[in-house]
Structure 1
Amino acid sequence: MSLPSITHARLLDTATELFYTEGIAATGVDKVVARSGVSKPTLYAHFRSKDELVTAVLERRHAERVAMLDAWVRTHADSPRERLLAVFDWLANWHASEGERGCAFVNTVAEVAGPGHPAQEVARRHKRWMREYLAGLASEAGFSDPQRLGSDLMLLVDGANARVLVDGDLAAATDARRLAAMLIDAYQESSQ
């Protein structure tokens, strides 16, 4: 790995942690610079602005989430129905280990100003991907309206993330899984 990419990764690692744990608005570039151990000119050599850094953090989170979630689902579930529920198991595991502030994508949309902020588009793209991922799992499971089921399950994912952020309820994904199982059963019954 070349030296510039090590610095780039260090900046992203630091900003990812600070933006998530302390908030984007509360975290200035001075704090990112101090915590990462690089100079402010170095930060600006990698990212032209704080907005660009926020966007890069979300882009990286999205790429990690895509790889991580599907690997978890394919490893922890055998049947198509169980794959849908494994998404909630993954979410519960993530909340317990590092997700005590809910969804970084929703948090970012709430914090950054203006609908034209590039990080908001990354967040919207991530949420679309997640709905499509759930719909794809529903399609694999043979549901007649996988898009609708995927969208409904996404509401449960977002609700669990919101409850974690607002109430600190780290069991929210487990509750969402229980509701998802009921929803899946209802869709299955209506398909017959």
Structure 2
Amino acid sequence: MIEQTPPSAPLTPAARRILAAASRLFYARGLHAVGVDTIAAEAGVTKKTLYDRFGSKEALEVAYLRARDARWEELLGRSLAAHPAAGVDRVLAFFDAVEEWSAAEGGRGCAAINARAEVDDPGHPVAVEVARQKSWVRDRLEAECRAAGLARPGRLADELMVLYDGALAASGTGVPAGPFRAARRAAGALCAAHAA
């Protein structure tokens, strides 16, 4: 049976090195292309230590996705805090935040989308984690649309999510140039069309 959750206890120094190495390697090369031998060597630990700390490669993959997501949620929180009043500015802050995120953490598109593309089974722990992350963003968008008084906030959140993920995917290809700015402009137009 595949362990579906990474350890909940604080990470040991070795576990932190494993997670850092796995995060660099998974994002740069993909989940399937990176084996536990490579991760262990990069982290300076044995395979036994890797398995002792994470239980399975799948659990390490989920831990990688969760660690990136936690950093993303923190950055988004700062971006939203810059716009304390409900309104369209808070909706558009998602696009500003994801552009900042990509400049600092990206280069190869969305880690979650890339990881999901590598698993066929929707019940695989990676697929489940990606769905959780994407649902969280979509639900936050809907909450901000609702708070801003925009019409049909659920439908609008769906449309904004497509723009958001499309910009993330495009950022890994370089086409078009400036995908986050383009997505933000389109999001602004959608919000204006949904203004009550």
* Residue identity opposite 1:184 in structure 2: C
* Residue identity opposite 1:60 in structure 2: A
Query: Which residue of structure 1 lines up, in the alignment, with residue 6 of structure 2?
Result: none
* Residue identity opposite 1:85 in structure 2: L
Q: CA deviation at 1:167?
A: 3.5
Query: Which residue of structure 2 lines up, in the alignment, with residue 87 of structure 1?
Result: 94
SS of the counterpart of 1:100? coil
SS of the counterpart of 1:167? coil
Which of the two has greater helix per residue?
1
Q: CA deviation at 1:48?
A: 1.9
For the Cα contact (< 8 Å) 2:19–2:64, is it kept in 1? yes
Q: CA deviation at 1:84?
A: 0.9
Query: CA 1:99/1:9 → structure 2, altered by over 3 Å: closer, same or farther?
Result: same
Query: Which residue of structure 2 lines up, in the alignment, with residue 144 of structure 1?
Result: 151
* Residue identity opposite 2:168 in structure 1: N
Q: Normalised by the size of structure 1, how large is the TM-score?
A: 0.89
After the TM superposition, which parts of structure 1 deviate over 4 Å for at least 4 consecutive aligned residues?
A: 76-79
For the Cα contact (< 8 Å) 2:28–2:108, is it kept in 1? yes
Q: CA deviation at 1:108?
A: 0.6
Q: CA deviation at 1:165?
A: 2.1
For the Cα contact (< 8 Å) 1:19–1:27, is it kept in 2? yes
1:131 aligns with 2:138: yes
Q: Which runs of 5+ in 2 are unaligned?
A: 1-8
Query: CA 1:168/1:14 → structure 2, altered by over 3 Å: closer, same or farther?
Result: farther
Query: Which residue of structure 1 lines up, in the alignment, with residue 185 of structure 2?
Result: 178
Q: Which runs of 5+ in 1 are unaligned?
A: none
Q: CA deviation at 1:22?
A: 1.4
In structure 2, C-alpha distance between the alignment counterparts of 1:13 and 1:4, rounded to whole Å? 11
Choose from 1, 4, 20 the match for 1:13.
20
In structure 1, C-alpha distance between the alignment counterparts of 2:137 and 2:128, rounded to whole Å? 14
1:109 aligns with 2:108: no
* Residue identity opposite 2:28 in structure 1: T
Of the structure 1 ranges 148-157 and 167-176, higher mean CA displacement relative to structure 2 is found in 167-176
In structure 2, C-alpha distance between the alignment counterparts of 1:3 and 1:176, rounded to whole Å? 38
* Residue identity opposite 1:48 in structure 2: G
Choose from 24, 27, 38 the match for 1:31.
38
Query: CA 1:24/1:168 → structure 2, altered by over 3 Å: closer, same or farther?
Result: farther
In structure 1, C-alpha distance between the alignment counterparts of 2:155 and 2:10, rounded to whole Å? 47
Aligned CA-pair RMSD: 2.0
Alignment coverage as a number of residue pairs: 188
Q: CA deviation at 1:171?
A: 1.3
Q: CA deviation at 1:66?
A: 2.2
* Residue identity opposite 1:154 in structure 2: M
Of the structure 1 ranges 67-76 and 34-43, higher mean CA displacement relative to structure 2 is found in 67-76
Q: CA deviation at 1:30?
A: 1.2
Choose from 160, 163, 172 the match for 1:156.
163
Q: CA deviation at 1:98?
A: 2.0
In structure 2, C-alpha distance between the alignment counterparts of 1:43 and 1:56, rounded to whole Å? 12
In structure 2, C-alpha distance between the alignment counterparts of 1:159 and 1:3, rounded to whole Å? 35
